[in-house]
Chain A
C-alpha cells in the first residue's frame, strides 16, 4: 500500500504515565483516517508528536516514504502538516487575517503585506465554503468560525496533511454537518486528513479507516465500511457499550429551583440576551435547556449561578436567592458544572487535588482552623479520582494543565456531583468525553435525579437532550419557546422550536 504517513514504534512517556506505547500509524494518501480512544488514551499526544510539539522517546516517522525528523511545528509546516488543536491557539485581539498569516508574514520593505494575504484567504474560503470575515477580531467571532480560521490557517500554509483534534466537540449540529462537508471537499482535493473524535457516527459517516488506542497502546485498525459502531466502541473500551440509556420514569417532587421573569441585559448586543425566563425544576427530574448555541443558555445559567448581573428572581428551595453572592448560592445548594472548563471550571496551574477541593476547601474537614488539612484533602481527592475514574500521570499531584481534556472534564464532574446539593446544574457535561465516559456521566445524572435531586442541564446535542432529560425547555434568542415532554416530543417539533418557529 502506498503511504503518506507512517509512524513506527512510537513511544512517549510523561511522568507517571506512558501516553503512547509502540504505536504504528499508517495513513494512505487522500485517506480520512480516524483516531479513536478513551480520554487520556494518548490521541492528542500522538498527533502532537506528528506535529512536532513533543519529541517521541522512541520510534520513527516516515513521510511519503522518507524518514523525517520533526522537531518543532515549523518543521511540520514545512513538510505540509497542519493541525487544528483541541483547544484553539489563536490570538484573541488579532484579526482573522492577522491570525492566519502569523509566523508566515510576507514582508516587503519590512512591512507586513496584509492585503495580498487577505485576498488569498478570501479565495481559499470561497473554494472550500469556509465562511469567515477576514477583518473580524477573534474575540468577536463564534467558536465555529474560530475553527474555520484554524482550518484556513492550515490551508494558507499549503498543508496537505490535515490533523483535526476533536473538531466537532465544540460545534453545533449544523456546524458539524458543514465541517463534514468541508472535510469531504478537502479529501476530494487529494488532501489527507487525520480526525480525532469521540463521536462514532461521525467516524462512520466520513472516515475510511480508524486506528483505535487504549491506555496508550494500539489495539486495532479497523476498516470503517465493514465495522459497526458497536464494534468500534467495543474495541476502544474493551467491553460492549450500552448505547441505550436505561432509566426509570421520573417522579417529580417539590420545586427546587424556581426562575421568575429572569432577564440578562448585554451591553455588547444592547438587548436582553435572556428575556423574561420563567420555569421550575423539581426534585427527581432532569430539565434540559435545548437550543442552538448562542441563544442565551450560557447567560441564563450564569445568572442562576450568580456569575452575571440579572433582573428578575431566582428562588431556591422556597428562598429568594436573587441577591445572594455566588458563595451563598453554592452553600444553599447549587452545584455547577460550567460550560467552559478552562475559564471557570479549573485553575489549570493547580495540581489536581487543589482543583478537586475548589468548592469545599473552606469547610471542614478540608480545613481546620483556616489551615488546609492535607491528609484529608489527599484522601478526599484520591477517592474522587478513583470513583470517577479520572486518569492522569501522577494522580492527585498531577498538574491539571497536563491532563487530557476529557479527564479534566471528569474531574469537574466528580467535584460537583460529590457535593450532593439539591440542584445540579450541568452545562454540556459530556463535551469532549469518550463514549464510555459519556455513558457513565449520563448514569450519574440519572442517579442524582433518582436520589431526589433536581438536575438542570444544558446541551447542544439533540441525542443527549432526548435520551437523558425528562422535560425539555427550548430557548431561542433568549426567549422561552415552550416546554416538552422528552418521552413524547418528536425531533421535528423540537427543531421547529429551536429555530424560533411557533412563537
Chain B
C-alpha cells in the first residue's frame, strides 16, 4: 500500500523532490547547531536557537537591511557559479572574477589615481569623475567587464587549448589577488589608511530612499540598489536559461558538447560566452561589495571568500537562479542573525559550523535526493 504522500503528484515532481533535499540539509544543519548550543550553554540554547531562526529579522528592518546588503554579493557569485554549472562548466574562479570586478569598480569610483614619472608619484584626477550621477553605472559596468574578461580567459583556454576550467580558474584566483594588491598599492593607494582610496559619493550605489525604510530610527542600513540589480539578474538568468534560444544552446553545449556540435552549434563560442557571463556576474558581485560607503579595497594578499561561498550557494540552490536567490538570503540571514548570538554566551562561529554542515549535506544532496525519493516511493510490503 502506498502512503498518501507517495501517491501525491508531488512525489513525481523532480523539482519538489530535489528542493526537499536542500530543505532537509538546512533543517539538519540547524538542528545540529541547536545541539551544539545545548552542549555549550543549555540555559540559553532555546533563546539562541530562536535568534538563529529569526535570522536577519532580529533587529527589525535595520537588520533586514543588513541582510540584504550581505546577501547581494553572495547572490551574484552564486548566480555566477550556478549559471556556469548549468552550462556544463565548473567555475571555481568566482572569487578571482569578483576581485577583478571590485578592483575595476574601485578604480572607476575613486577620486584620484597615482601616475608615475620615473620614481616620482604624481596625483591625477580620475576622469570618470565627470560622469556625475552616472558615475556608479560606469563603475558597475567596469566591474561587469573586468569580471567577464577574467572569466573569458579560462573560457578561451578551454575552448582552444582544452585546459580544464577548474585548474585555470583556480590559478586565476591567485593572479587576481596579486593584480589587486599591485594595482591598489601602486595606483589607488591611500597611505593614510593603508588601503585603496574611498569611492566618491557619486560612484556609490544609490540608496533610493531605502535609508528611510531599513532603519531603526537612529541608524540606517546601507541597503542600496545593488540588491535589486542582483534580483534583476536572477530573473534575467532564469529567463535566459529557460526561455531563450541562447539558453537552449548553452545548456546543450553544457550537457553534451558533441551533440551540440553535431546540431551545428558553435560549441567553442558558447563555452566562452558562458564563462564571460559567469565572470561578469561575479564581477558585479565585486562592485556590490565595494561601491559602498566605508569600505575600501585592501591590498592584503587574500582571496576574497565570497566566490567560494557562491559555490556553496549554487549547490544549495540546486543550480537554479531562483534557488540561488533563496540560498543567498538564507546564508545572509544566518550570518546577520548570528551576530546577535553574541548577546548570549555563544561564539558566532556556531553559525559557521551550521553553514558548514548545511553545505556538506547539500553536497551529499545526491544521496539525500535518493533518500527522499526512496521514502516517497517505497511501498509497504
Contact = CB atoms under 8 A, between A and B. Distances in A.
A347 B255 contact: yes
Contact of A372 (B248, B260, B262, B263): B248
Interface residues of A, number: 31
Contact of B244 (A331, A345, A370): A370
Interface string A176-190: 000000000000000
Contacts of A323: none
Interface string A320-360: 00000111111100001010000111111110001000110
A307 B262 contact: yes
24 contacts: A307-B261, A307-B262, A326-B261, A326-B262, A328-B264, A331-B264, A338-B262, A343-B259, A344-B259, A344-B261, A346-B256, A347-B259, A347-B260, A348-B255, A350-B252, A350-B255, A358-B252, A358-B259, A359-B263, A359-B264, A361-B245, A370-B244, A371-B244, A372-B243
Given A307-B262, A336-B262, A370 B255 contact: no
The binding surface of chain B is classed by DSSP as helix
B166 interface: no
Most buried by A among B244, B251, B261, B264: B264
Contacts of A325: 264, 266
A243 interface: no
A350 B255 CA distance: 8
A276 B260 CA distance: 29
Interface in A9-57: 15, 57
Contacts of B379: 57-58
B243 A346 contact: no
A362 interface: yes
A327 B264 contact: yes
Contacts, number: 67
A95 interface: no
A325 B260 CA distance: 13
B364 to A, nearest CB: 19
A72 interface: no
B232 interface: no
Contacts of A330: 263-264
B265 interface: yes
Contacts of B248: 354, 361, 372
Contacts of A362: 245
Given A350-B252, A354-B248, A344 B243 contact: no
B349 interface: no
Contacts of B259: 343-347, 358
Interface string B224-264: 00000000000000000001111011011001101111111
Contacts of B264: 325-331, 359
Contacts of A421: none
Most buried by B among A15, A348, A358: A358
Contacts of B255: 347-350
A361 B248 CA distance: 8
Given A15-B12, A358-B252, A358-B263, A343 B258 contact: yes
Top 9 A-B residue pairs of the complex, sorted by shortest distance between their CB atoms: A327-B264, A344-B262, A326-B264, A349-B255, A358-B263, A347-B256, A347-B255, A370-B245, A343-B258
